[in-house]
Amino acid sequence: MKLTLKDHARHLTRLLSDGAYRRNALERRRLEKLPPYRATITTLLGQTFEIVDAPSFLEMHEQIWEREIYRFVPSRDKPLILDCGANIGLSVLFFKQNYPDCSIVAFEPDDTVFKVLERNMRRTGLRSVELVPRAIWTEATTLPFYSEGSYGGRVARGGDPLTRSVRTIRLRDYLDRPVDLLKLDIERGETEVLEDCFDRLKSVDHLFVEYHGADGEKQKLPRLLALLAGAGYRVNVHAGNDSPQPFVARKLNMGNDLQLEIFAFRETPGLPTRTNNPV
């Protein structure tokens, strides 16, 4: 049934008068006033949730909970999700609330952030969630790591402050079974990791990869897109860090002059599409 403008207005009125809506608005304003890298507890998700940094939390909340960028249509009753770069657990909580019968393997290499992830998962009491304190890489080894303090921790690249070392794990070892969603947000090395897994990507239905183009380094985007096409995916690409006038100046974020959200998926017969143009 198509909703009229009056229906939408009534719905908005109910939202504005709802106590939870007001509480969330007040909590959001509180978080917006906090300086970066200050740990706190928030109730914005409807339950007690620990965060390490308010600005990054609000950005992730907008992406994951408001835009719902990780929503997908599973083909199995009990989907398997590999969450590479789970951070403090917003994505894990989203997956379990929307796909309660799913199993999740969540990887997070930053020691400090991983401890917060553990505590959040303990508070929520979620089941069928395996937490792995490792960085995703092309082999099991130990590598220098840059801990940025919020969501930007990564295997160190040239010029990064070396804050610690991390143990890595090989992603392809987890692709020996059907995977409904592979989320790959590891801040560095996504192209090399997927190249190492290329022959096993046939087991992955939906793949989200955040591409990071490091300023001063050769862009790997053509390799990545060719790899996804070769694995039989169709892609949809969103700009994560856009520069309004890239011919004049490029905006840098954590040393990256290009950041993209790449959604790779198999063609699904009967899946509805949306269009703004009826023609």
Q: What is the pLDDT of residues 195-207, one digit of tens each?
A: 999 999 999 999 9
User: Which pLDDT band, with edges at 50, 70 and 90, does 279 fall under?
Assistant: very low
In angstroms, the CA 245 to CA 248 distance is 6
Residue 239's pLDDT is 86
Reported as type and span, the H/E element at residue 167 is: strand 164-170
- Taking CA atoms, 221 is separated from 80, 126, 211, 237, 261, in Å, by 27, 36, 8, 11, 12
What is the percent of the chain where pLDDT is above 70? 89
**How high is the pLDDT of residue 61?**
96
- Name the band, by pLDDT with cuts 50, 70 and 90, for residue 157: confident
CB 20 within 8 A of CB 14: no
Q: How, if at all, do strands 142-146 and 154-155 pair?
A: antiparallel
Does 169 have pLDDT greater than 90?
yes
pTM: 0.87
Check: CB of residue 219 under 8 Å from CB of residue 187: no
From CA 69, how far away is CA 72, in angstroms rounded? 9
Q: Of residues 34 and 273, which shows the higher confidence score? A: 34
Question: At 246, is the pLDDT very low, low, confident or very high (cuts 50, 70, 90)?
Answer: confident
CA neighbours closer than 13 Å in the CB half-sphere of residue 82 = 26
Centroid of chain to Cα 182: 10
For the residues 66-83, what does the mean pLDDT come to?
96
Residue 181: closest CA among 61, 107, 65, 73: 73
Rounded to whole angstroms, the Cα distance separating 60 from 274 reads 25
Confidence grade of residue 275 (pLDDT, cut at 50, 70, 90): low
pLDDT-derived band at 259, boundaries 50, 70, 90: confident
Strand partners, 166: 143
Residue 278 above 60 pLDDT?
A: no
Contact status, residue 205 vs residue 172, Cβ threshold 8 Å: no
Higher pLDDT, 174 or 252: 174
pLDDT of residue 272: 61
Lowest mean pLDDT among 30-39, 138-147, 266-275: 266-275
- CATH for the stretch 55-265: 3.40.50.150
Q: Which of 64, 62, 54 is nearest to 86 (CA)?
A: 64
pLDDT in tens, 116-142: 999 999 999 999 999 999 999 999 999
Alpha helices in the chain (DSSP H): 5-17, 19-33, 54-61, 90-98, 111-124, 190-196, 221-230
